[in-house]
Amino acid sequence: MTRTDIKYSRIWQIAYPIILGSIAQNLINITDTAFLGRVGEIALGAGALGGLFYLAVIMLGLGFSTGAQIIIARRNGEGKPKEIGQIIDQSLYFMLPMAILTFLLLRYWSVFILDFAVKSENIFIETSIYLKYRSFGIFFAMGNMVFRAFYVGLTKTKVITWSTFVMAAVNIILDYILIFGKFGAPELGVAGAAIASVIAEATALIYFIIYTFVTVKFSDYNLFKFYKPELARLYSILKIAIPIMLQQFLSLSVWFVFFLLIEKIGEMALAVSNIIRSIYVILMIPIWGFATATNTLVSYVIGLGKEDEVISLVYKIAGLTLIGVIGIVSIGLLFPNAILSIYTNDPILIEMGRPALKIVSVGVIFVGLGFIFFNGISGTGRTDVSLSLEVIVLAIYLIYTYILIFIFDANVTLAWSSEIVYGLLLSIVSIIYLIKGNWKNNNI
């Protein structure tokens, strides 16, 4: 193993704008959860299931854009910037029909899945209402993903921060107005949260478009030449992207199933878990930033012909991630009541949430390390391997959760211990493959 020349400051330079963007993005999740928590536990549970369903579907688009991002980073490392525009064009050609199909799924077909899966009639009705409006956001979200892939692949990540802050500001303001019916607007509850999110995503896309036209010299990358569709070039992206698409879709789908299993415990357990989910996502903020930096920098380093530096680079990023995660986790462990009170004023929910928060805080440490090692594999281009590893880990995760809830009649706190199991397993299998696996000289 050769020590990498990439300094901690360079890793941080790439990661911190994504982390700041994630903070802004998760202000949306916090706001939705906090506002819907004031509406009632039915609205809170419906917001959780509807949001997870939407995220599971949208992960297909995010998976494709991550594949494009890895290839853009590789071309950047190889000194071939003019090939990047064609990658963007092919991505747009693929994402548009995908957006149409996923819109149809969310708008018209999701109701049949929910009717089969959800026990509570009230939560079923409210979740269906949420997805009816939220589905329109898919077009804007997938456009945002293409721009994100372009800028992250080039390691120009500051625009991610600003676009997400714009989106968060719009969403928070509209959440307040539309959920509670302020300033003469109708009181829409769950529907208001969905509509606010759609408008916020549209605003972010407009920001990306304006920023790109103002700051980017298109000729440097042959950007937006709109070359005719090329199956060979699209295939090269899909070869990397399809395993990521499936992996991320499966990951969010399994988390959706996890919440369906929690719903079998009861509506209160689901409401508590929605609060814990929102806090969990906040704890994951530095992890996502460093994970994105990992697959981009690994691909870039390989493009430079420095494969021997990859493991050293991944270890460096894992160390930074561990420091960031422990810092954030300690806040939740020291002040659980204060954190939970942001989301609800119900003393029963706070009491139920306190031990679950402690379990999740421990789990996030292991999940953080697992994500870094796992994204190191994706950055090498061996996304087929990363998919296989994720399938194995997720299968064990689901089996463990099912046994806890249906055989041992576990409460909501023990159910969340599944995150510790997931993080440990993902860390172990990923680091073993990086050390022992055949990933060098993998051309993409």
Q: What is the pLDDT of residues 253-298, one digit of tens each?
A: 888 788 888 877 777 888 888 888 878 888 888 888 889 889 888 9
DSSP letters, 279-307, are HHHHHTHHHHHHHHHHHHHHHHHHHTT-G
Q: What are phi and psi of 306, to 5 degrees?
A: -115, 55
pLDDT of residue 32: 74
Share of the chain above pLDDT 70, in %: 96
Q: How confident is the model at residue 357 (pLDDT cuts 50, 70, 90)?
A: very high
pLDDT at position 438 is 83
Q: What single-letter amino acid sits at 33?
A: T
The per-residue pLDDT for 72 is 92
Q: Which of 21-35, 190-204, 351-365, 383-397 has the lowest mean pLDDT?
A: 21-35
Task: Tell me the pLDDT band of 370, cut-offs 50, 70 and 90.
Answer: very high
The pLDDT of residue 6 is: 76
Within a domain: residue 442? no
Compute the average pLDDT of residues 382-411. 91
208 lies in a domain? yes
444 within domain boundaries: no
Is residue 168, in this structure, part of any structural domain at all? yes
Evaluate if residue 195 carries a pLDDT over 90: yes
Is the pLDDT score of 1 beyond 60?
no
In a domain, residue 2? The reply is no
Interatomic CA distance for residues 399 and 406, integer angstroms: 10
SS3 444: coil
Dihedral of CA atoms 293, 298, 304, 309 in degrees, nearest 10, equals: 120
Residues 67-89: what's their mean pLDDT? 89
Q: How far apart are the first and last CA of the chain?
A: 23
Averaged pLDDT score across all residues of the chain: 87
The answer as to whether 254 is a domain residue is: yes
**Residue 368 pLDDT > 90:** yes
Q: Where are the alpha helices (DSSP H) in 335-346?
A: 336-341
Tokens matching residue 410: 């576990």
- Residue 160, pLDDT > 70, answer yes
Q: What is the pLDDT of residues 53-64, one digit of tens each?
A: 887 788 788 888
**pLDDT value for 22:** 65
Question: What is the Cα–Cα distance from 224 to 393, expressed in whole angstroms?
Answer: 40
> Do 33 and 274 touch, CB atoms closer than 8 A?
yes
pLDDT digits (tens, 9 = 90+) for 302-354: 888 888 889 999 999 999 999 989 988 898 888 888 888 888 788 888 888 89
Total domains in the chain come to 1
Element holding 187 (H helix, E strand): none
pTM of structure: 0.80
Torsion angle in degrees (nearest 10) through CA of 233, 239, 241, 243: 170
Which residue type, as a one-letter code, is found at position 356?
A
Domain-embedded: residue 232: yes
**Least confident segment among 81-90, 232-241, 382-391:** 232-241
* Residue 115 falls inside a structural domain: yes
Cβ 371 vs Cβ 287: under 8 Å: yes
Which residue range forms the structural domain that includes residue 236? 8-436
* Contact criterion met (CB below 8 Å) for 179 and 145: no
Choose from 25-34, 214-223, 262-271 the range with maximum mean pLDDT: 214-223
Task: Give the residue with greater pLDDT, 119 vs 93.
Answer: 93
Q: What is the pLDDT of residue 4?
A: 63
